[in-house]
């Protein structure tokens, strides 16, 4: 069962990611049940049509309420998923969709990537691709990600976390304290959002309040981070079979020539001024260091399935920026590009994620279900 859409501001990116997966998944091996979640949280049975989920800047994909309702098993004794709606005569009807072997929750942002849906699946005993509740929720929150990674001895960027209550009570003091500690420029971002939604680069004190307003529209606590000078490099991490350590791809690099930072349009809409270079130009020592850093971050968070670890390569070495436990998975996204450059095609990558999750479930080593 491929689940996509969701209640977050990254709804359309989730749909586009699902379109890529539905178009590339091995249909000779898997029978797919596509399930969309509307922005209001309704689980609906979707048409198995990857083209309808294509990421078109003029017509972003969206899950609409078609009147169906998908029902998960009512206990761990069953893996049968059902759909209810109306039949051709307009009468209520419920149909069994079959026993689900695995769920692929391709959800980005809150109410999906943050452990909420993972907890729901754990409650009913459905195995799934990706991290469980703890790793998903910690990695979703940039504030707590820094705490965990720093405690594991990994280097992270400097930042200040601001709650909405503190900002409303003393905005001038918050601004002055943050800029005194971090200098200018700074990045202001929601603690729990991805795809660069709600992120602003602040060049002067006068821009700070508007950046906070934009970030608080996405979350109730906001991270203010000092700008880091260095190359933006990323590494993709995959969980291995039971008993084996996770492995990392070659590095990728985001090279910006016409934009100030890697924003939503640059990531998903093909905006000019950004090149995704994969493999990145790293010598053997640097690449090995980046790969080791990616796996160590993956392990420190207790992640499973997949993750993308974003870093800066500075004059003093690597600094981890953030970890995404359900990274963008569209054909133009860095995660699949890194694995393609490592010798794993897009369809093979999807198969690997499914088979590894099934292997852990079968071995009883899967703490997610």
pLDDT per position as a tens digit, 286-296: 999 999 999 99
pLDDT for residue 75: 94
**Neighbour-count burial of 262, counting CB atoms closer than 10 A to its CB (0-12 exposed, 13-18 middle, 19+ buried):** buried
* pLDDT mean across residues, the chain: 93
Cα separation values, 291 from 150, 241, 246, 285, 300, Å: 18, 18, 10, 10, 14
pLDDT for residue 271: 57
Q: Can you tell me the distance from the alpha carbon of 331 to that of 337, in angstroms, rounded to the nearest whole number?
A: 8
pLDDT for residue 90: 85
Cα separation values, 265 from 83, 197, 256, 307, Å: 36, 10, 13, 22
Q: What percent of the chain is modeled with pLDDT above 90?
A: 84
Q: Can you tell me the distance from the alpha carbon of 273 to that of 275, in angstroms, rounded to the nearest whole number?
A: 7
DSSP state string for 50-102: GGGG--BTTB-------S-EEE--SSTT--EEEEEEE-TTS-EEEEEEEE-S-
Q: Can you tell me the distance from the alpha carbon of 152 to that of 189, in angstroms, rounded to the nearest whole number?
A: 24
Q: How many CB atoms lie within 10 A of CB 92?
A: 8
Mean pLDDT in residue range 5-18: 93
Strands 231-238 and 186-190: unpaired
Q: By the 8 A CB rule, do 95 and 105 touch?
A: no
Q: pLDDT of 24-80, one tens digit each?
A: 999 999 999 999 999 999 999 999 999 999 888 788 899 999 999 999 999 999 999
Q: Can you tell me the distance from the alpha carbon of 216 to that of 229, in angstroms, rounded to the nearest whole number?
A: 26
Angle at 57 between CA 231 and CA 4, to 5 degrees: 85
Sign of the dihedral through C-alpha 70, 139, 348, 122: negative
Mean pLDDT in residue range 180-192: 95
Q: Does residue 264 register a pLDDT over 80? A: no
DSSP code, position 5: E
Q: By the 8 A CB rule, do 10 and 194 touch?
A: yes
Question: Which secondary-structure segment (H or E) carries 329?
Answer: none
Cα separation values, 123 from 91, 126, 354, Å: 31, 8, 20
pLDDT for residue 368: 43
DSSP code, position 205: G
pLDDT for residue 260: 64
pLDDT for residue 366: 47
Placement of tokens 């060049």 in the chain? 203
Q: pLDDT of 115-161, one tens digit each?
A: 999 999 999 999 999 999 999 999 999 999 999 999 999 999 999 99
For residue 278, give the nearest of 257, 249, 256 by alpha carbon.
Answer: 249
Split at pLDDT 50, 70, 90, the class of 87 is confident
Q: pLDDT of 221-257, one tens digit each?
A: 999 999 999 999 999 999 999 999 999 999 999 998 8
pLDDT for residue 258: 65
Q: What percent of the chain is modeled with pLDDT above 70?
A: 94
Q: Which residues contact 113 (CB under 8 A, 6 or more apart)?
A: 8, 107, 136, 140, 194, 325, 326
pLDDT for residue 5: 97
Q: Can you tell me the distance from the alpha carbon of 162 to that of 190, in angstroms, rounded to the nearest whole number?
A: 10
Q: Does residue 196 register a pLDDT over 80? A: no
Q: By the 8 A CB rule, do 233 and 49 touch?
A: no
Q: How many CB atoms lie within 10 A of CB 203?
A: 13
For residue 266, give the nearest of 334, 314, 208, 215 by alpha carbon.
Answer: 334
Structure tokens that stand for 310 in this block: 């974003």
Q: Which residues contact 217 (CB under 8 A, 6 or more apart)?
A: 198
Strands 2-5 and 34-37: parallel
Placement of tokens 């997949």 in the chain? 306
Beta strands in 227-351 (DSSP E): 231-238, 247-256, 274-277, 306-314, 317-324
């Amino acid at each position: 069962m491929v689940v996509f859409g969701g209640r977050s501001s990254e709804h359309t990116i989730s749909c586009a990611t699902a379109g890529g997966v539905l178009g590339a998944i091995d249909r000779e091996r898997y029978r797919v049940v596509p399930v969309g979640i509307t922005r209001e949280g309704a689980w609906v049975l979707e048409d198995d049509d990857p083209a309808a989920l294509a990421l078109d800047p003029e017509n972003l994909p969206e899950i609409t309420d078609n009147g169906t309702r998908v029902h998960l098993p009512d206990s761990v004794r069953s893996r049968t998923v059902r759909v209810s709606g109306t039949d051709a005569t307009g009468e209520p009807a419920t149909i069994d969709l079959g026993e689900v072997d695995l769920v692929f929750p391709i959800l980005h942002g809150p109410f999906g990537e943050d452990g909420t849906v993972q907890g729901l699946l754990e409650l009913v005993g459905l195995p799934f691709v990706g991290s469980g509740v703890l790793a998903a929720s910690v990695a979703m929150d940039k504030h707590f990600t820094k705490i965990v990674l720093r405690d594991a001895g990994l280097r992270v960027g400097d930042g200040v976390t601001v709650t909405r209550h503190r900002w409303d009570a003393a905005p001038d003091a918050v601004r002055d304290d943050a800029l005194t500690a971090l200098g200018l420029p700074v990045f202001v971002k929601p603690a729990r959002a991805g795809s660069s939604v709600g992120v602003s680069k602040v060049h002067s004190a006068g821009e700070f309040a508007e950046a906070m307003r934009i970030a608080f529209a996405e979350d109730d606590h906001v991270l203010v981070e000092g700008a880091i000078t260095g190359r933006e490099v990323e590494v993709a991490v995959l969980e291995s079979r039971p008993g084996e350590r996770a492995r990392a791809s070659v590095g990728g690099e985001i090279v910006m020539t016409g934009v100030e930072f890697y924003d939503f349009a640059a990531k998903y809409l093909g905006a000019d001024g950004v090149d995704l270079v994969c493999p990145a130009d790293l010598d053997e020592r640097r690449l090995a260091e980046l790969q080791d850093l990616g796996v160590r971050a993956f392990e420190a968070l207790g992640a499973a399935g997949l993750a993308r670890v974003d870093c800066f390569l500075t004059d003093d070495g690597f600094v981890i920026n953030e970890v995404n436990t359900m990274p963008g998975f569209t054909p133009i996204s860095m995660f699949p590009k890194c694995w393609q450059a490592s010798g794993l095609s897009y369809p093979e990558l999807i198969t690997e994620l499914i088979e590894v999750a099934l292997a852990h479930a079968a071995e009883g080593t899967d703490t997610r279900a």
